[in-house]
Amino acid sequence: MSDSIKVRLLVVDDEQSIRKLCMTIGTSLGYTCSEAESAEAAVSRIEQDAPDLILTDLKLPTQSGVELLRQAKALFPHVEIAIMTGHGSIESAVDAMKLGAYDYIEKPFRVEKMRLLLQRMAEKVRLVTENEFLRERVNTEDNLDGIIGASANIQDVLRMISRLKDTRTPVLVSGESGTGKELVARAIHFRGAMAQTPFVAVDCGSLVPTLMESEMFGYEKGAFTGAMKSKAGLFQAANGGTIFLDEIGELPLEMQAKLLRVLQEREVRPVGSNESHSVDVRVIAATNRDLETAYREGTFRKDLYFRLNVVTVHLPSLRERRSDIPVLVHHFLNRYAPGTNLHVTPAAMKSLLQYEWPGNVRELENCVARAITLGDRQVIDVSDLPPAIRAEGGGAPQTTFSDGSSLSTTALAEMERMTILKVFEQANGDKALAGRMLGISRATLYRKLKRYNIAIRSNGESTPVASQT
Ligand SMILES: Nc1ncnc2c1ncn2[C@@H]1O[C@H](COP(=O)(O)OP(=O)(O)OP(=O)(O)O)[C@@H](O)[C@H]1O
Ligand SMILES: [Mg+2]
Protein backbone atom coordinates (compact mmCIF):
# COMPACT_ATOMS: atom_id res chain seq x y z
CA MET A 1 0.00 0.00 0.00
CA SER A 2 1.51 3.31 -0.92
CA ASP A 3 2.05 5.82 1.80
CA SER A 4 -0.12 8.39 0.11
CA ILE A 5 -3.19 6.34 0.87
CA LYS A 6 -4.89 7.23 4.11
CA VAL A 7 -5.97 4.77 6.72
CA ARG A 8 -9.66 5.14 7.53
CA LEU A 9 -10.80 4.86 11.11
CA LEU A 10 -14.36 4.62 12.35
CA VAL A 11 -15.06 5.29 16.02
CA VAL A 12 -18.27 3.88 17.49
CA ASP A 13 -19.34 4.92 20.95
CA ASP A 14 -22.48 6.44 22.39
CA GLU A 15 -20.39 8.79 24.47
CA GLN A 16 -19.39 11.86 22.54
CA SER A 17 -16.30 12.67 24.59
CA ILE A 18 -14.81 9.23 23.90
CA ARG A 19 -15.52 9.56 20.19
CA LYS A 20 -13.87 12.96 20.05
CA LEU A 21 -10.82 11.74 21.93
CA CYS A 22 -10.33 8.71 19.70
CA MET A 23 -10.84 10.79 16.58
CA THR A 24 -8.28 13.30 17.75
CA ILE A 25 -5.76 10.51 18.28
CA GLY A 26 -6.60 9.04 14.86
CA THR A 27 -6.30 12.40 13.14
CA SER A 28 -2.92 13.00 14.79
CA LEU A 29 -1.75 9.73 13.23
CA GLY A 30 -2.86 11.04 9.84
CA TYR A 31 -5.92 8.82 9.58
CA THR A 32 -9.22 9.86 8.05
CA CYS A 33 -11.70 9.54 10.89
CA SER A 34 -15.45 9.22 11.11
CA GLU A 35 -17.78 8.46 13.96
CA ALA A 36 -21.07 6.77 14.79
CA GLU A 37 -23.04 6.74 18.00
CA SER A 38 -24.89 3.49 17.49
CA ALA A 39 -24.37 0.14 15.79
CA GLU A 40 -27.03 1.01 13.19
CA ALA A 41 -25.35 4.29 12.33
CA ALA A 42 -22.03 2.46 12.24
CA VAL A 43 -23.23 -0.06 9.65
CA SER A 44 -24.26 2.65 7.21
CA ARG A 45 -21.01 4.53 7.84
CA ILE A 46 -19.11 1.30 7.15
CA GLU A 47 -20.89 1.00 3.79
CA GLN A 48 -20.07 4.58 2.93
CA ASP A 49 -16.54 4.89 4.22
CA ALA A 50 -15.13 1.37 3.86
CA PRO A 51 -12.98 1.89 6.96
CA ASP A 52 -9.78 -0.06 7.59
CA LEU A 53 -10.03 0.17 11.36
CA ILE A 54 -12.99 0.24 13.71
CA LEU A 55 -12.83 1.13 17.34
CA THR A 56 -16.08 0.26 19.05
CA ASP A 57 -17.51 0.39 22.49
CA LEU A 58 -18.61 -3.00 23.79
CA LYS A 59 -21.92 -1.64 25.08
CA LEU A 60 -23.89 0.27 22.50
CA PRO A 61 -27.48 1.48 22.93
CA THR A 62 -29.35 -1.27 21.06
CA GLN A 63 -26.76 -3.76 19.90
CA SER A 64 -23.49 -4.91 21.35
CA GLY A 65 -20.10 -4.11 19.88
CA VAL A 66 -19.69 -7.84 19.33
CA GLU A 67 -22.74 -7.92 17.07
CA LEU A 68 -21.35 -4.93 15.19
CA LEU A 69 -18.08 -6.77 14.79
CA ARG A 70 -19.89 -9.67 13.18
CA GLN A 71 -21.68 -7.37 10.73
CA ALA A 72 -18.59 -5.36 9.90
CA LYS A 73 -16.54 -8.47 9.19
CA ALA A 74 -19.28 -9.77 6.91
CA LEU A 75 -19.17 -6.53 4.92
CA PHE A 76 -15.41 -6.05 4.84
CA PRO A 77 -13.46 -9.15 5.87
CA HIS A 78 -10.21 -7.14 6.03
CA VAL A 79 -11.40 -4.57 8.52
CA GLU A 80 -9.60 -4.68 11.88
CA ILE A 81 -11.70 -4.05 14.96
CA ALA A 82 -10.75 -3.25 18.52
CA ILE A 83 -13.25 -3.26 21.36
CA MET A 84 -13.32 -0.69 24.15
CA THR A 85 -14.63 -2.09 27.40
CA GLY A 86 -15.78 -0.65 30.68
CA HIS A 87 -15.07 -2.24 34.06
CA GLY A 88 -15.83 -5.92 34.46
CA SER A 89 -16.58 -6.80 30.89
CA ILE A 90 -13.30 -8.48 30.08
CA GLU A 91 -15.07 -11.77 29.46
CA SER A 92 -17.16 -10.42 26.59
CA ALA A 93 -14.05 -8.78 25.24
CA VAL A 94 -12.39 -12.16 25.14
CA ASP A 95 -15.44 -13.55 23.33
CA ALA A 96 -15.06 -10.74 20.83
CA MET A 97 -11.47 -11.73 20.21
CA LYS A 98 -12.58 -15.26 19.47
CA LEU A 99 -14.86 -13.77 16.83
CA GLY A 100 -11.98 -12.00 15.20
CA ALA A 101 -11.51 -8.74 17.09
CA TYR A 102 -7.91 -7.55 16.90
CA ASP A 103 -7.66 -6.56 20.54
CA TYR A 104 -9.51 -4.89 23.34
CA ILE A 105 -8.67 -1.88 25.43
CA GLU A 106 -10.07 -0.98 28.82
CA LYS A 107 -11.64 2.39 29.53
CA PRO A 108 -10.34 4.73 30.74
CA PHE A 109 -7.20 4.38 28.63
CA ARG A 110 -4.04 6.41 28.25
CA VAL A 111 -3.68 8.27 24.99
CA GLU A 112 -0.32 6.66 24.33
CA LYS A 113 -1.79 3.20 24.74
CA MET A 114 -4.54 3.96 22.22
CA ARG A 115 -2.02 5.40 19.78
CA LEU A 116 0.01 2.19 19.90
CA LEU A 117 -3.04 0.02 19.49
CA LEU A 118 -4.17 1.96 16.42
CA GLN A 119 -0.69 1.83 14.90
CA ARG A 120 -0.45 -1.93 15.40
CA MET A 121 -3.86 -2.42 13.82
CA ALA A 122 -2.98 -0.23 10.84
CA GLU A 123 0.19 -2.23 10.27
CA LYS A 124 -1.79 -5.47 10.28
CA VAL A 125 -4.25 -4.06 7.76
CA ARG A 126 -1.38 -3.05 5.54
CA LEU A 127 0.17 -6.53 5.57
CA VAL A 128 -3.09 -8.37 5.10
CA THR A 129 -4.39 -6.24 2.26
CA GLU A 130 -1.07 -6.41 0.50
CA ASN A 131 -1.32 -10.17 0.36
CA GLU A 132 -5.03 -10.43 -0.06
CA PHE A 133 -5.52 -8.52 -3.29
CA LEU A 134 -2.56 -10.25 -4.83
CA ARG A 135 -4.24 -13.59 -4.38
CA GLU A 136 -5.99 -15.23 -7.25
CA ARG A 137 -9.05 -13.52 -8.56
CA VAL A 138 -12.23 -14.57 -6.89
CA ASN A 139 -14.54 -16.49 -9.08
CA THR A 140 -17.52 -14.17 -9.24
CA GLU A 141 -20.41 -16.42 -9.91
CA ASP A 142 -22.52 -14.51 -12.42
CA ASN A 143 -26.19 -14.81 -11.89
CA LEU A 144 -28.53 -14.69 -14.87
CA ASP A 145 -28.35 -11.01 -15.69
CA GLY A 146 -25.21 -10.22 -13.80
CA ILE A 147 -26.51 -8.05 -11.01
CA ILE A 148 -23.49 -8.22 -8.78
CA GLY A 149 -23.40 -7.26 -5.14
CA ALA A 150 -23.69 -8.70 -1.67
CA SER A 151 -24.36 -5.46 0.23
CA ALA A 152 -27.62 -5.26 2.15
CA ASN A 153 -28.71 -2.49 -0.21
CA ILE A 154 -28.39 -4.54 -3.34
CA GLN A 155 -29.84 -7.63 -1.68
CA ASP A 156 -32.99 -5.58 -1.02
CA VAL A 157 -33.13 -4.76 -4.71
CA LEU A 158 -32.75 -8.44 -5.65
CA ARG A 159 -35.56 -9.37 -3.28
CA MET A 160 -37.80 -6.73 -4.87
CA ILE A 161 -37.01 -8.12 -8.31
CA SER A 162 -38.07 -11.61 -7.36
CA ARG A 163 -41.24 -10.28 -5.81
CA LEU A 164 -42.13 -8.28 -8.91
CA LYS A 165 -41.02 -10.54 -11.70
CA ASP A 166 -44.28 -12.44 -12.13
CA THR A 167 -46.63 -9.51 -11.61
CA ARG A 168 -48.02 -6.91 -14.00
CA THR A 169 -47.56 -4.11 -11.47
CA PRO A 170 -46.13 -0.89 -12.86
CA VAL A 171 -42.65 -0.30 -11.46
CA LEU A 172 -40.62 2.87 -11.19
CA VAL A 173 -36.88 2.27 -11.00
CA SER A 174 -35.05 5.24 -9.55
CA GLY A 175 -31.40 5.92 -8.95
CA GLU A 176 -28.47 8.00 -10.08
CA SER A 177 -26.97 7.57 -13.48
CA GLY A 178 -25.09 4.31 -13.97
CA THR A 179 -26.51 2.52 -10.93
CA GLY A 180 -28.01 -0.28 -12.99
CA LYS A 181 -31.61 0.82 -13.61
CA GLU A 182 -31.83 -0.78 -17.02
CA LEU A 183 -30.21 -3.94 -15.71
CA VAL A 184 -32.90 -4.15 -13.04
CA ALA A 185 -35.73 -3.49 -15.51
CA ARG A 186 -34.46 -6.30 -17.70
CA ALA A 187 -34.09 -8.61 -14.72
CA ILE A 188 -37.70 -8.01 -13.68
CA HIS A 189 -38.83 -8.97 -17.16
CA PHE A 190 -36.45 -11.77 -18.05
CA ARG A 191 -36.39 -13.57 -14.71
CA GLY A 192 -40.15 -13.88 -14.61
CA ALA A 193 -42.96 -15.78 -16.22
CA MET A 194 -43.09 -13.21 -19.02
CA ALA A 195 -39.53 -13.83 -20.18
CA GLN A 196 -40.74 -15.15 -23.53
CA THR A 197 -42.85 -12.07 -24.23
CA PRO A 198 -41.43 -8.89 -25.83
CA PHE A 199 -39.31 -6.40 -23.87
CA VAL A 200 -39.22 -3.05 -25.62
CA ALA A 201 -37.05 -0.19 -24.38
CA VAL A 202 -37.86 3.42 -25.20
CA ASP A 203 -35.51 6.28 -24.42
CA CYS A 204 -37.92 9.06 -23.57
CA GLY A 205 -35.23 11.72 -23.70
CA SER A 206 -33.98 10.99 -27.16
CA LEU A 207 -36.66 12.16 -29.59
CA VAL A 208 -38.55 15.35 -30.31
CA PRO A 209 -42.21 15.13 -29.23
CA THR A 210 -43.71 14.73 -32.69
CA LEU A 211 -41.41 11.89 -33.63
CA MET A 212 -41.83 10.40 -30.19
CA GLU A 213 -45.56 10.10 -30.66
CA SER A 214 -45.33 8.22 -33.95
CA GLU A 215 -42.50 6.12 -32.58
CA MET A 216 -44.46 5.11 -29.50
CA PHE A 217 -47.94 4.80 -30.90
CA GLY A 218 -47.31 4.22 -34.61
CA TYR A 219 -48.68 6.11 -37.59
CA GLU A 220 -51.07 5.73 -40.47
CA LYS A 221 -50.03 5.87 -44.11
CA GLY A 222 -50.08 9.51 -45.20
CA ALA A 223 -50.20 10.83 -41.62
CA PHE A 224 -47.29 13.13 -42.45
CA THR A 225 -44.93 13.72 -45.34
CA GLY A 226 -42.81 10.65 -45.77
CA ALA A 227 -45.28 8.25 -44.14
CA MET A 228 -45.45 5.98 -47.18
CA LYS A 229 -47.07 3.14 -45.31
CA SER A 230 -48.51 2.69 -41.86
CA LYS A 231 -46.29 1.50 -39.06
CA ALA A 232 -47.05 0.02 -35.67
CA GLY A 233 -45.57 1.79 -32.66
CA LEU A 234 -43.45 0.51 -29.81
CA PHE A 235 -46.46 -0.01 -27.57
CA GLN A 236 -47.93 -2.45 -30.06
CA ALA A 237 -44.56 -4.12 -30.42
CA ALA A 238 -44.49 -4.64 -26.66
CA ASN A 239 -48.02 -6.04 -26.57
CA GLY A 240 -48.28 -8.92 -24.13
CA GLY A 241 -44.92 -8.04 -22.62
CA THR A 242 -43.06 -5.15 -21.01
CA ILE A 243 -42.39 -1.63 -22.19
CA PHE A 244 -39.40 0.00 -20.53
CA LEU A 245 -39.74 3.79 -20.46
CA ASP A 246 -36.21 4.94 -19.78
CA GLU A 247 -35.51 8.49 -18.55
CA ILE A 248 -39.24 9.03 -18.08
CA GLY A 249 -38.50 12.38 -16.42
CA GLU A 250 -37.37 13.72 -19.80
CA LEU A 251 -40.72 13.07 -21.46
CA PRO A 252 -42.23 16.37 -22.63
CA LEU A 253 -45.49 17.37 -20.89
CA GLU A 254 -47.47 17.01 -24.08
CA MET A 255 -46.34 13.40 -24.45
CA GLN A 256 -46.99 12.74 -20.78
CA ALA A 257 -50.69 13.46 -21.38
CA LYS A 258 -50.76 11.08 -24.33
CA LEU A 259 -48.95 8.37 -22.42
CA LEU A 260 -51.34 8.70 -19.50
CA ARG A 261 -54.31 8.22 -21.82
CA VAL A 262 -52.79 5.06 -23.27
CA LEU A 263 -52.15 3.64 -19.83
CA GLN A 264 -55.66 4.44 -18.63
CA GLU A 265 -57.51 3.23 -21.69
CA ARG A 266 -55.14 0.42 -22.57
CA GLU A 267 -55.30 1.31 -26.21
CA VAL A 268 -53.22 3.27 -28.66
CA ARG A 269 -54.28 5.34 -31.59
CA PRO A 270 -51.59 5.69 -34.25
CA VAL A 271 -50.91 9.20 -35.53
CA GLY A 272 -53.34 10.05 -38.33
CA SER A 273 -55.64 7.14 -37.58
CA ASN A 274 -59.22 7.06 -36.33
CA GLU A 275 -58.89 3.57 -35.07
CA SER A 276 -57.54 2.42 -31.73
CA HIS A 277 -55.75 -0.82 -31.01
CA SER A 278 -55.91 -2.36 -27.61
CA VAL A 279 -52.59 -3.05 -25.95
CA ASP A 280 -51.76 -5.00 -22.84
CA VAL A 281 -48.34 -4.05 -21.54
CA ARG A 282 -46.61 -3.95 -18.21
CA VAL A 283 -44.83 -0.65 -17.73
CA ILE A 284 -41.43 -0.27 -16.10
CA ALA A 285 -40.20 3.31 -16.02
CA ALA A 286 -36.79 4.55 -14.97
CA THR A 287 -35.59 7.93 -13.85
CA ASN A 288 -32.52 9.54 -12.39
CA ARG A 289 -34.53 12.62 -11.58
CA ASP A 290 -36.53 13.18 -8.48
CA LEU A 291 -40.01 12.91 -10.00
CA GLU A 292 -41.71 13.95 -6.82
CA THR A 293 -39.98 17.32 -6.97
CA ALA A 294 -40.66 17.44 -10.71
CA TYR A 295 -44.41 17.07 -10.23
CA ARG A 296 -44.42 19.60 -7.42
CA GLU A 297 -42.67 22.03 -9.72
CA GLY A 298 -45.12 21.27 -12.49
CA THR A 299 -42.72 19.70 -14.98
CA PHE A 300 -44.12 16.22 -14.49
CA ARG A 301 -47.80 15.27 -14.37
CA LYS A 302 -48.86 14.17 -10.94
CA ASP A 303 -51.49 11.73 -12.24
CA LEU A 304 -48.92 10.06 -14.48
CA TYR A 305 -46.47 9.92 -11.59
CA PHE A 306 -48.92 8.00 -9.44
CA ARG A 307 -49.87 5.75 -12.31
CA LEU A 308 -46.24 4.74 -12.92
CA ASN A 309 -45.09 4.71 -9.35
CA VAL A 310 -47.10 1.87 -7.88
CA VAL A 311 -43.89 0.27 -6.66
CA THR A 312 -40.50 1.96 -6.55
CA VAL A 313 -37.25 0.11 -6.72
CA HIS A 314 -34.53 2.49 -5.64
CA LEU A 315 -30.97 1.74 -6.63
CA PRO A 316 -28.34 2.88 -4.15
CA SER A 317 -25.38 4.83 -5.43
CA LEU A 318 -22.10 2.96 -5.48
CA ARG A 319 -20.69 5.09 -2.66
CA GLU A 320 -23.53 3.85 -0.46
CA ARG A 321 -22.42 0.26 -0.97
CA ARG A 322 -18.68 0.33 -1.18
CA SER A 323 -18.41 -3.23 0.06
CA ASP A 324 -19.54 -4.29 -3.43
CA ILE A 325 -16.64 -2.54 -5.15
CA PRO A 326 -14.09 -5.40 -4.96
CA VAL A 327 -16.54 -7.99 -6.28
CA LEU A 328 -17.68 -5.64 -9.07
CA VAL A 329 -14.06 -5.01 -10.02
CA HIS A 330 -13.47 -8.75 -10.31
CA HIS A 331 -16.67 -9.18 -12.24
CA PHE A 332 -15.51 -6.62 -14.81
CA LEU A 333 -12.00 -8.12 -14.92
CA ASN A 334 -13.57 -11.44 -15.79
CA ARG A 335 -15.72 -9.77 -18.41
CA TYR A 336 -13.04 -7.65 -20.09
CA ALA A 337 -9.99 -9.83 -19.61
CA PRO A 338 -11.36 -13.36 -19.40
CA GLY A 339 -8.90 -16.16 -18.87
CA THR A 340 -6.06 -13.86 -17.81
CA ASN A 341 -4.52 -13.73 -14.40
CA LEU A 342 -4.69 -9.97 -14.21
CA HIS A 343 -5.03 -8.68 -10.67
CA VAL A 344 -5.38 -5.40 -8.87
CA THR A 345 -2.70 -4.11 -6.52
CA PRO A 346 -3.73 -3.28 -2.94
CA ALA A 347 -3.04 0.41 -3.49
CA ALA A 348 -5.18 0.49 -6.62
CA MET A 349 -7.99 -1.37 -4.88
CA LYS A 350 -7.79 1.05 -2.02
CA SER A 351 -8.12 4.01 -4.38
CA LEU A 352 -11.10 2.33 -6.01
CA LEU A 353 -12.69 1.81 -2.61
CA GLN A 354 -12.22 5.42 -1.60
CA TYR A 355 -13.31 7.24 -4.76
CA GLU A 356 -16.72 8.88 -4.85
CA TRP A 357 -18.00 7.34 -8.12
CA PRO A 358 -20.33 10.04 -9.42
CA GLY A 359 -20.94 7.83 -12.47
CA ASN A 360 -21.55 4.78 -10.26
CA VAL A 361 -21.17 1.23 -11.61
CA ARG A 362 -20.89 2.41 -15.21
CA GLU A 363 -17.93 4.61 -14.26
CA LEU A 364 -16.32 1.71 -12.39
CA GLU A 365 -16.85 -0.54 -15.40
CA ASN A 366 -15.24 2.04 -17.73
CA CYS A 367 -12.42 2.50 -15.29
CA VAL A 368 -11.63 -1.25 -15.19
CA ALA A 369 -11.92 -1.56 -18.97
CA ARG A 370 -9.58 1.41 -19.39
CA ALA A 371 -7.06 0.03 -16.89
CA ILE A 372 -7.02 -3.30 -18.73
CA THR A 373 -6.25 -1.52 -21.99
CA LEU A 374 -3.55 0.68 -20.48
CA GLY A 375 -2.04 -1.81 -18.08
CA ASP A 376 0.69 -4.35 -18.61
CA ARG A 377 -1.72 -7.30 -18.48
CA GLN A 378 -0.17 -8.53 -15.21
CA VAL A 379 -1.39 -6.10 -12.62
CA ILE A 380 -3.58 -3.06 -12.44
CA ASP A 381 -1.83 -0.45 -10.35
CA VAL A 382 -2.69 3.06 -9.22
CA SER A 383 -0.97 4.49 -12.30
CA ASP A 384 -3.48 2.66 -14.53
CA LEU A 385 -6.38 4.50 -12.93
CA PRO A 386 -7.76 7.83 -14.16
CA PRO A 387 -6.17 10.81 -12.36
CA ALA A 388 -9.37 11.74 -10.56
CA ILE A 389 -9.52 8.32 -8.91
CA ARG A 390 -5.82 8.22 -8.17
CA ALA A 391 -6.02 11.56 -6.42
CA GLU A 392 -8.81 10.57 -4.09
CA GLY A 393 -6.70 8.87 -1.43
CA GLY A 394 -4.07 11.60 -1.26
CA GLY A 395 -5.69 14.71 0.17
CA ALA A 396 -5.36 16.12 3.64
CA PRO A 397 -6.83 14.02 6.43
CA GLN A 398 -10.46 14.87 6.77
CA THR A 399 -12.77 14.19 9.60
CA THR A 400 -16.41 13.44 9.12
CA PHE A 401 -18.71 14.17 11.98
CA SER A 402 -21.90 12.27 11.59
CA ASP A 403 -24.08 14.47 13.71
CA GLY A 404 -26.74 14.80 11.04
CA SER A 405 -27.43 13.02 7.79
CA SER A 406 -27.84 16.30 5.96
CA LEU A 407 -24.25 17.02 6.68
CA SER A 408 -23.06 13.88 4.99
CA THR A 409 -25.24 14.41 1.90
CA THR A 410 -23.90 17.91 1.67
CA ALA A 411 -20.40 16.57 1.94
CA LEU A 412 -21.11 14.01 -0.76
CA ALA A 413 -22.60 16.61 -3.06
CA GLU A 414 -19.58 18.78 -2.47
CA MET A 415 -17.29 15.86 -3.25
CA GLU A 416 -19.20 15.14 -6.42
CA ARG A 417 -18.91 18.78 -7.42
CA MET A 418 -15.18 18.75 -6.75
CA THR A 419 -14.78 15.54 -8.74
CA ILE A 420 -16.58 17.02 -11.71
CA LEU A 421 -14.47 20.16 -11.53
CA LYS A 422 -11.31 18.08 -11.30
CA VAL A 423 -12.29 15.92 -14.26
CA PHE A 424 -13.15 19.00 -16.30
CA GLU A 425 -9.75 20.39 -15.65
CA GLN A 426 -8.16 17.15 -16.79
CA ALA A 427 -10.38 17.02 -19.86
CA ASN A 428 -9.51 20.63 -20.69
CA GLY A 429 -13.16 21.54 -20.59
CA ASP A 430 -14.09 18.99 -23.26
CA LYS A 431 -17.60 17.97 -22.18
CA ALA A 432 -17.75 14.80 -24.23
CA LEU A 433 -14.41 13.64 -22.82
CA ALA A 434 -15.35 14.63 -19.28
CA GLY A 435 -18.59 12.68 -19.60
CA ARG A 436 -16.69 9.62 -20.74
CA MET A 437 -14.16 9.96 -17.93
CA LEU A 438 -16.95 10.20 -15.40
CA GLY A 439 -18.85 7.41 -17.08
CA ILE A 440 -22.05 9.42 -17.33
CA SER A 441 -24.17 10.37 -20.30
CA ARG A 442 -24.06 13.85 -21.76
CA ALA A 443 -27.57 14.57 -20.55
CA THR A 444 -26.60 13.57 -17.01
CA LEU A 445 -23.44 15.64 -17.19
CA TYR A 446 -25.44 18.70 -18.23
CA ARG A 447 -27.88 18.13 -15.39
CA LYS A 448 -25.05 17.86 -12.91
CA LEU A 449 -23.34 20.98 -14.25
CA LYS A 450 -26.59 22.81 -13.82
CA ARG A 451 -27.20 21.40 -10.38
CA TYR A 452 -23.77 22.44 -9.15
CA ASN A 453 -23.83 25.76 -10.97
CA ILE A 454 -20.71 24.96 -12.90
CA ALA A 455 -20.44 27.23 -15.92
CA ILE A 456 -18.15 26.16 -18.75
CA ARG A 457 -16.55 29.10 -20.46
CA SER A 458 -15.92 28.97 -24.20
CA ASN A 459 -12.18 28.63 -23.59
CA GLY A 460 -12.92 25.37 -21.81
CA GLU A 461 -12.27 26.56 -18.27
CA SER A 462 -14.83 25.58 -15.73
CA THR A 463 -15.99 27.97 -13.08
CA PRO A 464 -18.13 27.12 -10.15
CA VAL A 465 -20.57 29.99 -10.05
CA ALA A 466 -21.54 29.31 -6.48
CA SER A 467 -21.87 26.23 -4.43
CA GLN A 468 -25.52 25.42 -4.01
CA THR A 469 -25.03 23.03 -1.19
N1 LIG B 1 -25.06 -4.47 -9.76
C2 LIG B 1 -24.43 -4.53 -10.94
N3 LIG B 1 -23.69 -5.60 -11.26
C4 LIG B 1 -23.02 -5.67 -12.44
N5 LIG B 1 -23.05 -4.72 -13.37
C6 LIG B 1 -23.76 -3.63 -13.12
C7 LIG B 1 -24.50 -3.45 -11.90
N8 LIG B 1 -25.11 -2.28 -11.93
C9 LIG B 1 -24.79 -1.72 -13.11
N10 LIG B 1 -23.99 -2.52 -13.84
C11 LIG B 1 -23.41 -2.21 -15.16
O12 LIG B 1 -23.20 -0.82 -15.22
C13 LIG B 1 -23.59 -0.29 -16.48
C14 LIG B 1 -24.68 0.74 -16.27
O15 LIG B 1 -25.90 0.10 -15.90
P16 LIG B 1 -27.31 0.61 -16.46
O17 LIG B 1 -27.22 0.99 -17.89
O18 LIG B 1 -28.33 -0.39 -16.10
O19 LIG B 1 -27.44 1.92 -15.56
P20 LIG B 1 -28.56 3.05 -15.56
O21 LIG B 1 -28.94 3.26 -14.15
O22 LIG B 1 -29.63 2.68 -16.52
O23 LIG B 1 -27.74 4.32 -16.03
P24 LIG B 1 -28.27 5.66 -16.78
O25 LIG B 1 -29.11 6.41 -15.83
O26 LIG B 1 -26.99 6.37 -17.08
O27 LIG B 1 -28.99 5.19 -18.00
C28 LIG B 1 -24.02 -1.46 -17.31
O29 LIG B 1 -22.94 -1.90 -18.11
C30 LIG B 1 -24.38 -2.52 -16.30
O31 LIG B 1 -24.17 -3.81 -16.82
MG1 LIG C 1 -30.19 3.69 -18.29
Nearest CA to ligand 1 atom 24: 177
What band does 221 get if pLDDT is binned at 50, 70 and 90?
A: confident
Ligand nearest to the CA of 180: 1
Distance 313 CA to ligand 2 centre (A): 14
Mean pLDDT of all residues in 123-144: 53
Atom number in ligand 1 closest to CA 183 = 18
pLDDT tier, 457 (very low <50, low <70, confident <90, very high otherwise):
low
Lining residues, ligand 1, CB within 6 Å: 146-149, 175, 177-183, 288, 331, 361-362, 365, 441, 444
Q: Which ligand is nearest to the CA of 175?
A: 1
Report how far ligand 1's centroid is from the alpha carbon of 61 (Å). 38
Tens digit of pLDDT for each residue in 325-347? 988 998 899 888 888 888 888 88
Q: Which of 280, 170, 182, 267 is nearest to 218 (CA)?
A: 267
Q: Which atom of ligand 1 is nearest to the CA of 364?
A: 12
User: Using CA atoms, how far apart are residues 437 and 424, in angstroms rounded to an integer?
Assistant: 9
Nearest one of 199, 183, 198, 196 to 143, comparing CA atoms: 183
Which is nearest to 191 in space by CA: 238, 157, 235?
157
Helix (H, G, I), strand (E, B) or coil at 206: coil
Q: How confident is the model at residue 414 (pLDDT cuts 50, 70, 90)?
A: low
Asked if residue 177 lies in contact with residue 362, where contact means CB atoms within 8 angstroms, the answer is: yes
Q: Is the pLDDT of residue 450 over 50?
A: yes
> Residue of the nearest CA to atom 15 in ligand 1?
180
What pLDDT is attached to residue 328? 92
Q: Which atom of ligand 1 sits closest to the CA of residue 175?
A: 21
Q: Judge whether residue 462 has pLDDT over 90.
A: no
Residue 37 is given by DSSP the state: S
**What average pLDDT does this structure show over 14-38?**
94
Cα 251 to ligand 2 centroid, rounded to whole Å: 14
- Mean pLDDT on 103-128: 87
Please name the residues in contact with 47: beta carbons below 8 A apart, sequence gap of 6 or more: 75, 151, 152, 153, 320, 321, 322, 323
Q: State pTM to two decimals.
A: 0.65
Higher local confidence (pLDDT), 318 or 434: 318
Q: Which residue's CA is minimally distant from atom 12 of ligand 1?
A: 362
Please say whether the dihedral angle defined by the alpha carbons of residues 330, 336, 338 and 343, taken in this order, is positive or negative. negative
Probe ligand 1: pick from 199, 322, 357, 361, max atoms within 8 Å of CB?
A: 361
What's the gap between Cα 375 and its chain centre? 25
Residue 157's pLDDT is 92
Q: What is the pLDDT of residue 402?
A: 39
DSSP assignment of 64-93, as one string? BHHHHHHHHHHH-TT-EEEEEE-TT-HHHH
Calpha distance 341→328 (Å, rounded):
16
The residue whose CA has the least distance to atom 9 of ligand 1 is 180
Q: What is the pLDDT of residues 384-393, one digit of tens each?
A: 998 888 865 5
Ligand closest to 369 (CA) is 1
Distance 181 CA to ligand 1 centre (A): 6
Between the CA of 365 and the centroid of ligand 2 the distance, in Å, is: 14
Which has more pLDDT, 17 or 146? Answer: 17
Yes or no: say if 211 and 250 are a contact pair by the CB < 8 Å rule.
no
Angle between helices 325-336 and 346-354 (to 10 degrees): 120
pLDDT at 53 (0 to 100):
96
Q: What is the pLDDT of residues 167-188, one digit of tens each?
A: 898 999 999 999 999 999 999 9
Residues with CB in 5 Å of ion ligand 2: 182
Most confident option among 102-116, 379-393, 434-448: 102-116
Q: In terms of C-beta density within 10 A (0-12 exposed, 13-18 middle, 19 or more buried), how is residue 355 classed?
A: buried
Distance in Å, CA 412 to ligand 1 centroid: 21
CA of 326 to the centre of ligand 1 (A): 16
pLDDT category of residue 6 using cuts at 50, 70 and 90: confident
- Protein residue with its CA nearest to atom 8 in ligand 1: 180
Q: What does the DSSP assignment read for 370-435?
A: HHHHHS-SSEE-GGGS-HHHHHHTTS---EE--S-HHHHHHHHHHHHHHHHHHHHHHTTT-HHHHH
Longest CA–CA span in the chain (Å) reads 88
Distance 146 CA to ligand 1 centre (A): 10
**Distance from Cα 391 to the centre of ligand 1, integer Å:** 25
Q: Is the pLDDT of residue 59 over 70?
A: yes
Residue 276 Cα to chain centre, angstroms? 42
Nearest ligand (C-alpha, residue 444): 1
Ligand 1 centre and the CA of 227: distance in Å? 36
Alpha carbon nearest to ligand 1 atom 29, residue: 362
Among protein residues, the one with the nearest Cα to ligand 1's atom 16 is 180
The top-scoring range by mean pLDDT among 36-40, 146-150, 228-232 is 36-40
